[in-house]
Chains A and B, each alone.
Chain A
Amino acid sequence: MDAGIPLSLTVNGVALSRLVEPRTSLVDFLRYELELTGTHVGCEHGVCGACTVRVDGAIARACLMLAVQADGARVDTIEGVAGTGEVFDLQQAFAEENALQCGFCTPGMLLTAQDLLSRTPDAGSDEIREALSGNYCRCTGYHAMVDAIRKTSESRRRGTGGGPHR
């Protein structure tokens, strides 16, 4: 059995290298090894979306990737996109619309919403609902999230969106 496989990757803009056991999932690597606990672990089989991160710019389930598979990749977590201000307006809108209660699903929701708006800036309610269908929320009933994402989409298109660092 391999005890440690060398892994080099860039997480939230920081290049780093570690040795990892092959069976370590990307989400466990982020949480335990890097102490980036904003990415949550829900179902561990790809259903709930709480562990959503970006790998080379595309959203992915961090529970369904082995950490070793991220070798050479650029990974962005909620800490990264929140820190740069990339999702500042989405976060604001979620707060204003009461689109979170316990907050467990929120990091995955924000990354999923940001991915949708980056590809489809004028996404309507149906497209928003379809995009969120892979992320479970057990508190809100989703309506407030759809409102928050639509509001962000509108303000970005008016050019009044964006965070303090934009």
Chain B
Amino acid sequence: MKPPPFAYHRPASLDEALALLERYGSDGRILAGGQSLVPALNMRLAAPAALIDINRLPGLDAIRLAPEGLVIGALARHADVEIAPLVLRHARPIALAMPHVGHRAIRTRGTIGGSVALADPAAELPACLLALDARIRVAGPGSQREISAQRFFQGIYTTDLSPHEMVTAVVVPPGPADWTSRFVELARRHGDYALVGLAAHGHVENSIAREMRLAFCGVGPTPLRATRAEAKLRGRALGPSVRAEAVSALEADLDPPGDVHASSALRRHLARVLLAWVLASMA
């Protein structure tokens, strides 16, 4: 229950961090909040040759409004994001989801970039990024690129990142101010990973769903958009029968895996329960 030895680097700049990543390749791991990496080290599920501690990189924790949207730096901690007025205003599903992430003592350390790079399929943040049509900003040696959340999350703990790249920010594109957001989840105990979670972000006007994005976590190898359910809602009044149609459409949208925590059938059922709650609250 103690990590094996590793080299420790504390770069002072992004360039220095990227040079270290290039040097170590997949034998080096980025250390940000450490709330998932350090347990893996302690249990010896991971044994990297080197840790590259990015906690001293200047400005990487900034949350700011830019022409391209709301930019949340990779080092922003969950606890800070939870109460940031800019996040509440421009990326509301994320602010709503934060209280569900672990416990306070985890959220004071855990980072947005770490959650994105880990890509746990049950995690809340990736689903929020899908619902917001957000992009992931990554830096590699001499280059920077942005990937849509839809493309970034590829499988269980698997992303589009190459071993020489690191996440530097998430970018939430500007959207109309009058969209409605929800985040709900069902877990065995508060702070546990969700059995099923749902981030909903839509434009509802006089109870007509002009636009609706529904992103689930915990129901597949990546967070998933329920596109068939969304299509049933778009342009229609959120009355009981339309809501029921959307809930039924989940059958074709989701094929959740069963595991020790919940069977596939239970997850399917809980996903329907969550969507019914959310739509009733938006109607």
A112 touches B34 (CB 8 A): no
B12-54 Cβ-contact flags toward A at 8 Å (1 or 0): 0000000000000000000100110011011100000001010
CA distance in complex: A60, B104 (Å):
8
B53 touches A69 (CB 8 A): yes
A58 touches B55 (CB 8 A): no
Segment at the A interface, from B3-11, B169-177, B261-269: B3-11
Cβ-closest chain A residue relative to B3: A23
Given known A22-B6, A44-B1, A133-B191, contact A66–B105 (CB-CB < 8 A): no
With a CB–CB cut-off of 8 A, which chain A residues contact B4?
23
Q: A69 touches which one: B55, B79, B105 (CB < 8 A)?
A: B55
Given known A58-B79, A69-B34, A134-B191, contact A2–B106 (CB-CB < 8 A): no
For the complex, is A154 an interface residue (Cβ under 8 Å from B)?
no
Contact residues of A between 29 and 48, Cβ < 8 Å to B: 44-46
With a CB–CB cut-off of 8 A, which chain B residues contact A128?
none
CA distance in complex: A23, B106 (Å):
20
CA distance in complex: A130, B39 (Å):
23
A1 touches B3 (CB 8 A): no
**Nearest CB on A from B43, distance (A):** 6
A60-101 Cβ-contact flags toward B at 8 Å (1 or 0): 110111101100000000000000000000000000000000
Question: In this complex, which of A46, A59, A112 has the most chain B Cβ atoms within 10 angstroms of its Cβ?
Answer: A46
B106 touches A61 (CB 8 A): yes
Cβ-closest chain B residue relative to A130: B190
For the complex, is A107 an interface residue (Cβ under 8 Å from B)?
no
With a CB–CB cut-off of 8 A, which chain A residues contact B34?
64-66, 69
With a CB–CB cut-off of 8 A, which chain A residues contact B2?
23, 25, 28, 44
Given known A64-B34, A65-B34, A66-B34, contact A49–B105 (CB-CB < 8 A): yes
B8 touches A22 (CB 8 A): yes
B99-139 Cβ-contact flags toward A at 8 Å (1 or 0): 00011111011000000000000000000000000000000
Given known A1-B7, A23-B5, A23-B6, contact A65–B42 (CB-CB < 8 A): no
Q: B8 touches which one: A5, A52, A116, A134 (CB < 8 A)?
A: A5
A45 touches B189 (CB 8 A): no
A60 touches B3 (CB 8 A): no
Q: Is the contact region of chain A dominated by helix, strand, or loop, or is it mixed?
A: mixed
Given known A44-B1, A65-B38, contact A59–B8 (CB-CB < 8 A): no
A60 touches B42 (CB 8 A): no
For the complex, is A21 an interface residue (Cβ under 8 Å from B)?
yes
With a CB–CB cut-off of 8 A, which chain B residues contact A65?
34, 38, 109
Given known A1-B7, A21-B5, A69-B34, contact A133–B103 (CB-CB < 8 A): yes
Cβ-closest chain B residue relative to A45: B39
With a CB–CB cut-off of 8 A, which chain B residues contact A45?
1, 39, 42-43
**Nearest CB on B from A53, distance (A):** 9
CA distance in complex: A131, B104 (Å):
7
For the complex, is A115 an interface residue (Cβ under 8 Å from B)?
yes
With a CB–CB cut-off of 8 A, which chain B residues contact A22?
5-8, 51
With a CB–CB cut-off of 8 A, which chain B residues contact A55?
108-109
B42 touches A59 (CB 8 A): no
**Nearest CB on A from B141, distance (A):** 24
B109 touches A61 (CB 8 A): yes
Could you jot down 18 A-B contacts, CB within 8 Å? A2-B8, A23-B4, A25-B38, A28-B2, A44-B2, A44-B42, A49-B103, A55-B109, A60-B105, A63-B42, A64-B34, A64-B109, A66-B34, A66-B38, A66-B51, A68-B8, A69-B34, A135-B103
B interface list, Cβ under 8 A from A: 1-8, 10, 31, 34-35, 38-39, 41-43, 51, 53, 55, 79, 102-106, 108-109, 189-191
Q: Told that A22-B6, A45-B42, A64-B38 touch, could you supply 9 new A-B pairs with CB distance under 8 A?
A: A22-B5, A23-B2, A44-B1, A44-B2, A45-B1, A59-B104, A61-B35, A66-B53, A68-B8
Closest 3 CB pairs of A and B: A134-B103, A22-B8, A45-B39
